[in-house]
Chains A and B, each alone.
Chain A
Amino acid sequence: MDRRELVFMDSTSNKFWRIELNGDSHTVTFGRAGTDGQSKTKTFADADAAKKDYDKLISAKLKKGYVDADSASAATGEDADALPVLAFRSILKEDDVGHNAKTFIGKRIADYDPNKKPTAGGKTVYRFRSDWDSQDCVPNLKHFLETDAAREAVGIVIGNWTGDDTGTDPSEVIELLCQNSKRLAALKAIYLGDIISEECEMSWIQQSDIGPLLKAFPNLELLRTRGGENLKIGHLKHDNLRGLICESGGLRAEVVRQIGRSKFPALEHLELWLGTDEYGGDSSVEDLQPILSGDLFPQLKYLGLRNCDFVDDIAAVIVNSPLIQRIETLDLSLGVLTDEGGRALLSLPTDGTLQHVNLHFNYMTNDVIKELKKLPLKMDLSKPSHMDQDDEWRFVAVGE
């Protein structure tokens, strides 16, 4: 009996999918992680037909970004408490940019309600945010920090900290978290800025120096931020940080350079949304050279250079870089990737560690897409339905 179990995680879900082949039938079981899920059995004319469908379904799931449940990226390391690399995934598709996160590090997110007792055991990740007519973020966080659940919290999500006053930065929240680092003893992951366009345009989000978080939480494994304006990483050394995600409509060159001289020896997942210069993203491919040289992050498995209007330039340089020989996933999605960049990617190494290439939301023509599909790599070449092929003016997925 053949059997395969796959798992999937992103900002909205954490689910499993299992298939068992049994002669002329197969059984698919799927559902939310931690549940029994539901099963469906399908019978075929003969065993060959069943096997063929079994293989087809698996390959379709792998294309969608599922990975084997016991693979390196889904399994926790030697340290059973460590987060799997899969849990570092942020949003995958352009459509999801407009939605608040529903899961974080594979756990369900709930808005913190001071009137309800928080769940114990760190099973739920709480989100703290202000509404446009209320200022609940900091008071709720303070309330939470006094509870026992705070000691067990593995992840924390900070949503819109400013209400509708787009001029405020999160320094107060950062300070509060840092002051309470002893209480937040189990904290491994912080998402600072789960803010969608309806709450505050991405380019309006005022960030600040996130260095204090790195300093105050030596056991932090994932730091995810959204918003590029005034973002700074004032502390560039961390021994245990495994995931760093900076989502923005425009990431300043200085931030990219800061990362280029950082010391994060454990980093496995680096995701930078470089954006456009219209929104302060003034970096260029030269700024990425220290990262692409391959010496900087020896453990890196995933590199995302997303939402980037010069991704064609990156594509041309990255295929020759030493780094591409070492990583497993290259993510150039959400940017302005055209045929020029697509053709450069035809020389991606196919005999090394590289397995997944995410090019979702691109401006390539069918000719180049067809060529890329021939590469023996798992590629996401999808486009959202609204993307106009003849679009003369090309945009990154998230400008604002």
Chain B
Amino acid sequence: MQSDAEKRSRIDRECWVIGDPESRRVQDFQRSAIGLGMRVPNCLDWNDLIASEGRCLEQIPPLARVRIDSFGQRCETIASLIELGGGDVFPKRGQVLSLDHQYQGIVRAMEMVECWRCRRLESKHDVIIDQVPGDLAVMFDKWATHQLMLPYRPKTVLLPTEIDAAGQAIQSFADCCGGRVFVKPRYASSASGVCCYRTQRGRQQLIAAIEIDRCGDDIRLFNSLRVRSFTNPADIDAILRVLIPQGMIAEAAVSKARLDGERFDLRIVVIDGKADHLVVRQSPWPITNLHLGNRRGDLELLYDSVGIDRVNDCRQLAIHAAAQFPRTRYSGVDILLPRVNPPLVCEVNAFGDFLPNLTASGKTVYASILQIDAGAFV
């Protein structure tokens, strides 16, 4: 039986975030802690983590709580991840390039954190990490996640990394999925490189938040805040030529339910097995990420139009999905709600908890994370 004092000390334990100290994510997290009367979490910069090959983790004192947050969008961080992953081509800001090497870099960095944690465990100077580093590595691999989430996933295939073979694979997959598929980078987060592809009567359409930058024969892709529809076969070919070698999956498109005339899906943050925080992501486009100018839908309207039971089914599925990573205490699960069939898992996002101003029973996501039952640790 723990005494109150012991519990208290655990709530008061030092908290560290591995993240981008300049980012709104880390700053909001720190502010939330202050708002709750907790100590300000320290930030350990991903740049330092990579540069020191994990040695800088030693500054984290015993018993500290560690949260792994996003490495952010800084070019130098991305470049050092790619380098760590054995790559030597580095993207400009916002460019979609070397996702495979970047992923290898993330895996290497997660290994550093995991090694450090094991060493600490042996030396009895143990720390508490909110997420299992290996779980995050799985979440960043959409193909691995897909297999873990079966049977609650749309039909999906892994595409070859050779362009002609991939082109044929997409075509035949599209043919057996009613003409519409998502082509998604195997290793990426948010909407980066996600394409909705359809073919009908010899016409092609590719919808993506992508901008093509042509300089002679050199074609570069950039993430854009604007979802766009491409129908020129040359543009579509150019996009796929850049993406395919970086590793892609093709996923059958699901005919999503509509809310107020628009399609939507759900982002549900599961924290310690509770799926309280739910956002309706509503968009006229098939790509619903909120940073693309799409809007948060109305929760009341959601209950009214699809019914409380179906929403609860979604929450249960999100909990089930998060439970596939039992020692990772929270993640952001994207749930697809088809018009007629039961819900499906779209993605499990390692860093899918940045939803400012979203509250459930008066608590923001970060407040809930910060107040995870201390007694449940260790």
| Interface flag for A152 (CB, 8 Å) | no
B258 contacts A111, CB within 8 Å?
yes
B-contact bits for A221-261, CB 8 A (1 contact / 0 none):
00000000000000000000000000000000000000000
Residues of the A chain whose Cβ atoms lie less than 8 Å from the Cβ of B227: 98
Residues of the A chain whose Cβ atoms lie less than 8 Å from the Cβ of B258: 111
B284 contacts A102, CB within 8 Å?
no
**What interface size band does chain B fall in?**
20 to 34
Give B224-282 interface residues, CB cut-off 8 Å to A.
Answer: 226-227, 229, 231, 255, 258, 260-263
B284 contacts A196, CB within 8 Å?
yes
5 shortest A-B CB distances, which residue pairs? Answer: A133-B255, A99-B284, A197-B229, A100-B261, A98-B284
A-contact bits for B211-231, CB 8 A (1 contact / 0 none):
000000000000000110101
Question: Which residue of chain B has the shortest Cβ distance to A196 in the bound complex?
Answer: B284
Given A109-B261, A164-B178, decide whether A132 and B231 contact each other with a Cβ distance below 8 A: no
| Interface flag for A277 (CB, 8 Å) | no
Question: Which residue of chain A has the shortest Cβ distance to B260 in the bound complex?
Answer: A102
Given A127-B261, A133-B178, A164-B198, decide whether A98 and B285 contact each other with a Cβ distance below 8 A: yes
| Interface flag for A400 (CB, 8 Å) | yes
Question: Which residue of chain A has the shortest Cβ distance to B205 in the bound complex?
Answer: A201
| Interface flag for B201 (CB, 8 Å) | yes
* Chain A to chain B contacts (Cβ below 8 Å), 11 pairs: A99-B262, A102-B260, A127-B261, A131-B255, A164-B200, A197-B207, A197-B229, A198-B263, A198-B286, A201-B229, A386-B226
Q: A131 CA to B178 CA in the complex, in Å?
A: 12
| Interface flag for A286 (CB, 8 Å) | no
A198 contacts B339, CB within 8 Å?
no
| Interface flag for A167 (CB, 8 Å) | yes
A-B CB contacts (within 8 Å), total count: 53
Question: Which residue of chain B has the shortest Cβ distance to A386 in the bound complex?
Answer: B226
B39 to A: closest C-beta gap in Å: 41
Give B271-321 interface residues, CB cut-off 8 Å to A.
Answer: 284-286
A102 contacts B261, CB within 8 Å?
yes
Residues of the A chain whose Cβ atoms lie less than 8 Å from the Cβ of B255: 131-134
Q: Which residues of A contact B (CB under 8 A)?
A: 98-100, 102, 109-111, 127, 131-134, 164-167, 196-198, 201, 203-204, 386, 400
Residues of the A chain whose Cβ atoms lie less than 8 Å from the Cβ of B179: 132, 164
B203 contacts A166, CB within 8 Å?
yes
Residues of the A chain whose Cβ atoms lie less than 8 Å from the Cβ of B178: 132-133, 164
B200 contacts A100, CB within 8 Å?
no
A167 contacts B284, CB within 8 Å?
no
Residues of the B chain whose Cβ atoms lie less than 8 Å from the Cβ of A133: 178, 255
Give B179-208 interface residues, CB cut-off 8 Å to A.
Answer: 179-180, 198, 200-201, 203, 205, 207
A202 to B: closest C-beta gap in Å: 10
A198 contacts B285, CB within 8 Å?
yes
Interface core residue of B200, B226, B227, B339 (most chain A CB under 10 Å): B200
A13 to B: closest C-beta gap in Å: 13
B203 contacts A131, CB within 8 Å?
no
Q: A365 CA to B46 CA in the complex, in Å?
A: 44
A164 contacts B180, CB within 8 Å?
yes
Question: Which residue of chain B has the shortest Cβ distance to A101 in the bound complex?
Answer: B261
Apart from A100-B284, A132-B255, A400-B229, list 8 A-B contacts with CB within 8 A: A98-B227, A111-B258, A111-B261, A127-B261, A164-B178, A166-B201, A197-B207, A198-B263
A167 contacts B201, CB within 8 Å?
yes
Residues of the A chain whose Cβ atoms lie less than 8 Å from the Cβ of B262: 99-100
Residues of the B chain whose Cβ atoms lie less than 8 Å from the Cβ of A165: 200-201
A198 contacts B207, CB within 8 Å?
yes
A-contact bits for B144-172, CB 8 A (1 contact / 0 none):
00000000000000000000000000000
Residues of the B chain whose Cβ atoms lie less than 8 Å from the Cβ of A131: 255, 339
Q: A48 CA to B229 CA in the complex, in Å?
A: 51
A-contact bits for B96-109, CB 8 A (1 contact / 0 none):
00000000000000
Residues of the B chain whose Cβ atoms lie less than 8 Å from the Cβ of A100: 261-262, 284
Q: A134 CA to B286 CA in the complex, in Å?
A: 17
Residues of the A chain whose Cβ atoms lie less than 8 Å from the Cβ of B207: 197-198
B229 to A: closest C-beta gap in Å: 5
Residues of the A chain whose Cβ atoms lie less than 8 Å from the Cβ of B205: 201
Question: Which residue of chain B has the shortest Cβ distance to A167 in the bound complex?
Answer: B201
Residues of the A chain whose Cβ atoms lie less than 8 Å from the Cβ of B285: 98, 198
Residues of the B chain whose Cβ atoms lie less than 8 Å from the Cβ of A164: 178-180, 198, 200
B229 contacts A132, CB within 8 Å?
no
Residues of the A chain whose Cβ atoms lie less than 8 Å from the Cβ of B198: 164
Q: A204 CA to B226 CA in the complex, in Å?
A: 22
Q: A201 CA to B200 CA in the complex, in Å?
A: 12
Q: A166 CA to B198 CA in the complex, in Å?
A: 12
Q: A210 CA to B87 CA in the complex, in Å?
A: 59
